[in-house]
């Protein structure tokens, strides 16, 4: 449980942590069986959180109900127990607050639909439900839970637990008188998002039933998808304005049946290729040329620039209060990254951000750090981006980071386990391949623009895999049980992997070679994936490997790192060939099978059959290649390319008398290992660098009175026009000296 805020009974989280778990579980089970919670747990207080920076109306406040710790702990457990049920039963059109789903998926899906249907016809209305959580009647919750087939006991427990809440409102640091809350899902209750998802499920199911839509849309068709939900926000999409308005009218009527109102003035419509009038209750919904994504939700485009400026301002305030000069130098990059990149990460995942806006962010970070560390304002920006031991400071470059985020986000979604998402992203990336950079750059055009910037080639993998022309495999065809040993190796001669396949009939050995550019981790993972190609259909196999990285990768359903395309291929082969696979970890060089396969992998580095990794990918995954080699780790590739570019730039500027020094590895290791204060480490860093010094030639000063060259001798004796200033300076010095002498005399007399 994340929240530790105390309720009105002042019970702390630590009290519950010290209770015997068995006693606590027994008490919670009794409450569910008795279908209610204690009355004291029905007391809470409402904290008003501003939706905007400037509050002008009560509608700008979001009421968060803070219940007692015991209540929140119990409902956290119930929510956790229901997460698998929600993933299986809540329609895929609702992506909020559900395990293994994100609202960003819908945002990217909508952009893909706009890209595909912008010429044929596309209408999207993002409808806003007025006071969605606060307006729900208890009988509507009952209807929703019944509709979703909740067990009667659990349903009664939830209804009774939500009844007769005694609430106080915090205002001006005091609590109001208690009152009984008669409606609304308590925002702040861990179960509240799932309850609202059940209510939205009723609307989604009605749309599916009345419009005769597929329960799970399989094709990239606007009319089949029909609606996409972002928690309490709902986006209605259509290809025809007449049908669109009819659908809006029906949905509005269905919401009224559960006592919820659509707010037309806060709803937004986007229609292409020309504006159309979307209506609710004969009220026109405002039109926007484009909708952008803020925090995973759709907003009108004009708010996007405002949000960027707000985040930039917030970032500058954070940097202003950070004690940067007291931070250990080699940690500066991590500290600044965590405090600044978080302001823009979610926006970069779903939006193409204008180049000038990103540069403005970067410039603000550089200037603030220069001021905090007293670095010359004219210091080239490359010096701040380079790593410490290369003469820089290693601070983040947001332009580079947002490029990495955009590329990785779309590559990951192209391997999404939801087929429609894969199809949407692959179709959009393929169709925008030859599109030039437009004024209103969408995220898919931006993907290609970034790839070209770093000389990367986009490949939509759909290969016929390399055939295994080995006579020995025919002996395995009728076998159903296998033991397999796999290993990968990277030596000075190259990279390779080996597979030992053992069945009842025979043991076969297979060695393969990879291009030396590939890593040992890729070789070990590819050895497991390729094993599934060698196995006959409907067979069982125990795969023994010493690669803990591969085991963790293939067993993690939330894996979103560089080797995701290979994991996707592994899952596809396992499903399509109906294989039962068990991967077992063994200690390296201690098991006889592992020792033999390790030798086989080393031989494969030089004499194995050549395997091209990306030609094993058949599921239309999007990958990036450089010089016809698959680049799984995009982040490392781009960082190395940028570091090389910055180093070359600094080399050119050094001819103009700018020559940043470097921290030698021995000094850098000394700073990391010695137990000295951050101030001392910072002092060492500054003494080893000259990026903070005024290394440029300074302009010659002139005397303000006679315009002669200004020197100390000229100011102190020669210039006759400065006699008054010299006299004033002498008087001030005399006064200060007199004061000091008097203090010394008093001290000596008191001592005597």
- pLDDT for position 574: 93
Q: Is residue 544 part of a domain?
A: yes
- Between 221-230, 377-386, 507-516, 639-648, the lowest mean confidence (pLDDT) is in 377-386
The 10s digit of each residue's pLDDT in 608-630 is 889 888 888 887 788 999 998 99
681 and 704, same domain (yes or no)? no
437 and 325, same domain (yes or no)? yes
496 and 611, same domain (yes or no)? yes
Q: Which two tokens stand for residue 680?
A: 């001392």
Q: Which two tokens stand for residue 736?
A: 């200060």
571 and 615, same domain (yes or no)? yes
Q: How confident is the model at residue 263 (pLDDT cuts 50, 70, 90)?
A: confident
- pLDDT for position 48: 85
Q: Is residue 2 part of a domain?
A: no
pLDDT over 70 at 411, yes or no? yes
Q: What is the DSSP letter of 626?
A: E
681 and 703, same domain (yes or no)? no
d(CA 615, CA 599): 25
- pLDDT for position 741: 72
pLDDT over 70 at 656, yes or no? no
More confident residue, 344 or 522: 522
Handedness of CA 561, 564, 570, 574 (dihedral sign): positive
Domain boundary among 250, 268, 294: 294
d(CA 752, CA 746): 10
The 10s digit of each residue's pLDDT in 189-198 is 889 999 999 9
d(CA 318, CA 320): 5
More confident residue, 142 or 677: 142
CATH number, domain containing residue 602: 3.30.420.10
- pLDDT for position 437: 58
pLDDT over 50 at 695, yes or no? no
- pLDDT for position 297: 61
- pLDDT for position 635: 92
d(CA 503, CA 319): 63
339 and 475, same domain (yes or no)? no
Is there a contact between 526 and 488 (Cβ–Cβ < 8 Å)?
yes
Q: Is residue 442 part of a domain?
A: yes
pLDDT over 50 at 697, yes or no? no
- pLDDT for position 408: 92
What integer is the mean pLDDT of 577-584?
94
274 and 319, same domain (yes or no)? no
pLDDT over 70 at 31, yes or no? yes
- For 64, half-sphere exposure in the C-beta direction (CA atoms, 13 angstrom radius) is 11
The 10s digit of each residue's pLDDT in 279-330 is 888 888 888 776 666 655 666 667 788 888 888 888 888 888 888 877 777 7
Please enumerate in sequence order all residues whose Cβ is within 8 A of that of 260, keeping only pairs 6 or more positions apart, or say none.
Answer: 129, 130, 132, 135, 136
Domain boundary among 242, 271, 294: 294
pLDDT over 70 at 713, yes or no? yes
Domain boundary among 619, 648, 669: 619
Please enumerate in sequence order all residues whose Cβ is within 8 A of that of 222, keeping only pairs 6 or more positions apart, or say none.
Answer: 113, 117, 122, 237, 238, 239
Q: Which two tokens stand for residue 433?
A: 């391949």
Q: Is residue 19 part of a domain?
A: yes
Q: How confident is the model at residue 489 (pLDDT cuts 50, 70, 90)?
A: very high
- pLDDT for position 485: 94
191 and 104, same domain (yes or no)? yes
Q: Is 47 helix (H, G, I), strand (E, B) or coil?
A: strand
The DSSP result for 238-269, as a single string, is ES-HHHHHHHHHHHHHHHHHTT--B-GGG-EE
CB atoms inside a 10 Å sphere around CB 474:
9
- Strands across the sheet containing 507-514: 580-585, 540-545, 481-491, 494-502, 507-514, 609-610
Query: Tokens 């530790």, residue?
Result: 4
Q: Is residue 354 part of a domain?
A: yes
Total domains in the chain come to 4
Q: Is residue 750 part of a domain?
A: no
CA nearest 291: which of 311, 271, 266? 271
Q: Is residue 8 part of a domain?
A: no
97 and 183, same domain (yes or no)? yes
Residue 256, sorted as left (phi over 0), alpha (psi -120 to 50) or beta, turns out to be alpha
Is there a contact between 397 and 341 (Cβ–Cβ < 8 Å)?
no
What integer is the mean pLDDT of 211-237?
88
Task: Calculate what percentage of the chain has a pLDDT beyond 70.
Answer: 91
What integer is the mean pLDDT of 355-374?
86
Q: Is residue 462 part of a domain?
A: no
d(CA 413, CA 83): 22
CB atoms inside a 10 Å sphere around CB 608:
21
CA nearest 280: which of 236, 341, 318? 236
More confident residue, 309 or 524: 524
d(CA 710, CA 451): 55
**Residues facing 123 on adjacent strands:** 238, 271
43 and 177, same domain (yes or no)? yes
How wide is the angle at C-alpha 631 spanned by C-alphas 628 and 634, nearest 5°?
140
Q: What is the DSSP letter of 124?
A: E
579 and 654, same domain (yes or no)? no
- pTM, full prediction: 0.81
Q: How confident is the model at residue 400 (pLDDT cuts 50, 70, 90)?
A: very high
What integer is the mean pLDDT of 420-427?
88
Q: Which domain holds residue 34?
A: 13-294
d(CA 399, CA 454): 13
CA 287 to chain centre: 30
- Between 378-392, 409-423, 578-592, the lowest mean confidence (pLDDT) is in 378-392
Of the chain, the end-to-end C-alpha distance in Å amounts to 70
221 and 310, same domain (yes or no)? no
The DSSP result for 456-505, as a single string, is -EEEE--PPPPP---GGGGGGTT--EEEEEEEEEEETTEEEEEEEEE-SS
Please enumerate in sequence order all residues whose Cβ is within 8 A of that of 273, keeping only pairs 6 or more positions apart, or say none.
Answer: 118, 119, 121
- pLDDT for position 551: 93
Q: What is the DSSP letter of 440?
A: S
């Amino acid at each position: 449980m994340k929240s530790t805020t105390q309720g009105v009974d002042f019970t702390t989280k630590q009290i519950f942590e010290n209770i015997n778990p068995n006693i606590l579980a027994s008490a919670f089970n009794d409450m569910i069986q008795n279908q209610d919670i204690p009355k004291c747990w029905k007391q809470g207080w409402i904290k008003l959180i501003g939706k905007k920076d400037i509050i002008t109306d009560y509608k700008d406040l979001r009421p968060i109900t803070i219940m007692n710790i015991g209540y929140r702990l119990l409902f956290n457990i119930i929510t956790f127990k229901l997460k698998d049920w929600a993933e299986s039963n809540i329609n895929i059109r609702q992506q909020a607050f559900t395990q293994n789903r994100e609202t960003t998926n819908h945002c990217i899906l909508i952009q893909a639909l706009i890209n595909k249907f912008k010429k044929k016809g596309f209408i999207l209305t993002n409808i806003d439900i007025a006071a969605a959580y606060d307006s729900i009647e208890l009988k509507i919750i009952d209807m929703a839970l019944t509709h979703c087939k909740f067990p009667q006991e659990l349903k009664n427990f939830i209804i009774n637990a939500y009844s007769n809440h005694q609430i106080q409102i915090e205002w001006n640091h005091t609590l109001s008188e208690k009152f009984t809350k008669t409606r609304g899902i308590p925002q702040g209750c861990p179960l509240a998002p799932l309850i609202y998802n059940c209510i939205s499920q009723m609307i989604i199911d009605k749309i599916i039933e009345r419009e005769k839509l597929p329960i799970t849309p399989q094709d990239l068709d606007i009319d089949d998808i029909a609606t996409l939900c972002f928690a309490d926000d709902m986006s209605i999409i259509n290809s025809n304005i007449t049908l669109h308005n009819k659908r809006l009218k029906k949905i509005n009527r269905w919401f009224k049946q559960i006592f919820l109102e659509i707010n037309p003035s806060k709803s937004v419509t986007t229609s292409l290729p020309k504006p159309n009038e979307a209506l609710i209750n004969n009220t026109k919904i405002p039109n926007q040329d484009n909708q952008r994504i803020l925090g995973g939700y759709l907003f009108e485009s004009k708010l996007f620039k405002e949000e960027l400026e707000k985040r930039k301002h917030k970032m500058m305030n954070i940097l202003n209060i950070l004690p940067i000069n007291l931070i250990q130098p080699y940690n500066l990059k991590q500290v600044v990254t965590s405090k600044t990149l978080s302001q823009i990460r979610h926006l970069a995942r779903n939006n193409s951000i204008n180049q000038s806006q990103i540069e403005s962010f970067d410039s603000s970070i550089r200037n603030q750090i220069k001021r905090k560390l007293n670095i010359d304002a004219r210091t080239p920006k490359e010096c701040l981006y380079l790593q410490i031991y290369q003469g820089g400071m290693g601070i983040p470059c947001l332009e580079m980071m947002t490029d990495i985020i955009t590329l990785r986000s779309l590559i990951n979604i192209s391997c999404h386990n939801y087929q429609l998402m894969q199809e949407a992203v692959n179709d959009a990336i393929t169709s925008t391949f030859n599109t030039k950079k437009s004024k209103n750059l969408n995220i898919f055009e931006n993907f290609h623009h970034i790839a070209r910037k770093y000389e990367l080639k986009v490949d939509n993998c759909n290969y016929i895999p390399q055939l295994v022309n080995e006579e020995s495999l025919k002996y395995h065809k009728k076998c159903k049980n296998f033991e397999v040993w796999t290993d990968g190796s990277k030596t000075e001669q190259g990279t390779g992997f080996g597979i030992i396949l053992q069945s009842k009939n025979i043991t076969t050995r297979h060695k393969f070679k990879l291009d030396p550019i590939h890593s040992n981790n890729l070789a070990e993972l590819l050895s497991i994936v390729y094993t599934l190609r060698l196995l006959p259909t409907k067979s069982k196999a125990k795969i023994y490997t010493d690669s803990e990285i591969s085991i963790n990768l293939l067993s993690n359903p939330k894996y979103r790192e560089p080797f995701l395309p290979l994991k996707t291929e592994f899952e596809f082969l396992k499903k399509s060939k109906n294989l039962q696979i068990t991967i077992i970890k063994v200690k390296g060089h201690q098991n006889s099978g592992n020792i033999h396969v390790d030798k086989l992998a080393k031989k494969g580095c030089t004499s194995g059959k050549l395997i091209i990794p990306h030609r094993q990918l058949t599921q239309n995954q999007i990958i990036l290649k450089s010089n016809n080699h698959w680049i799984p780790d995009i982040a490392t590739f781009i960082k190395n390319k940028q570091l090389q570019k910055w180093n070359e730039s600094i080399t050119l500027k050094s001819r103009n008398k700018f020559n940043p020094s470097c921290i030698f590895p021995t000094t850098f290791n000394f700073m990391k290992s010695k137990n000295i204060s951050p101030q001392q480490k910072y002092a060492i860093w500054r003494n080893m660098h000259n990026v903070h010094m005024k290394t440029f030639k300074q302009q010659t000063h002139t005397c303000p009175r006679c315009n002669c060259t200004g020197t100390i001798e000229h100011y102190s004796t020669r210039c006759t026009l400065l006699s008054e200033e010299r006299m004033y300076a002498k008087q001030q010095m005399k006064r200060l000296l007199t004061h000091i002498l008097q203090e010394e005399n008093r001290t000596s007399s008191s001592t005597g």
